[in-house]
Amino acid sequence: MQYLVSVIDDRTASATDDELAAIDGFNERIQADGSWVFAGGLAAPSSATVIDNRDGAAVFTDGPFVESKEYLAGFWVLEAPDLDVALRLAAEGSRACHRRVEVRPFL
């Protein structure tokens, strides 16, 4: 079972050196125990482009699909047997990156 752990932030690339080191440490640990699937940080929503090609004539629009003060700043995809394990890992991730995180299961 895979879970998306979204990092919620109102700034981009704002992690301090200490936070980056803690994130690296957390990543290494979950890579070692097999929970790590993928992770990454994302550029600011101002860098987003929305594409609508539903009619076969692609329209490109500058900016994110939804404006909000806080947004997805990065994420982990984790492998966990159940929500309790995912929550425990996400809690460690939140502590490491010093941001709030949201956990959602993949379908």
34 is an interface residue for other proteins by CB under 8 A: no
The four Cα atoms 65, 7, 14, 93 give a dihedral, to 10 degrees, of -170
Looking at the Cβ atoms of 15 and 103, the one nearer to other proteins is: 103
Q: For residue 94, give both structure tokens.
A: 């939140």
Distance CA 97, CA 81 (A): 23
Maximum pairwise Cα distance, the chain: 48
105 is an interface residue for other proteins by CB under 8 A: yes
Give strand pairing partners of 9: 71
Query: Residues 74 to 93: which contact other proteins by CB under 8 A?
Result: 81-84, 86-87
104 is an interface residue for other proteins by CB under 8 A: yes
Cβ 107 to other proteins, closest distance in Å? 8
Residues interacting with other proteins, by CB under 8 A? 1, 81-84, 86-87, 103-105, 107
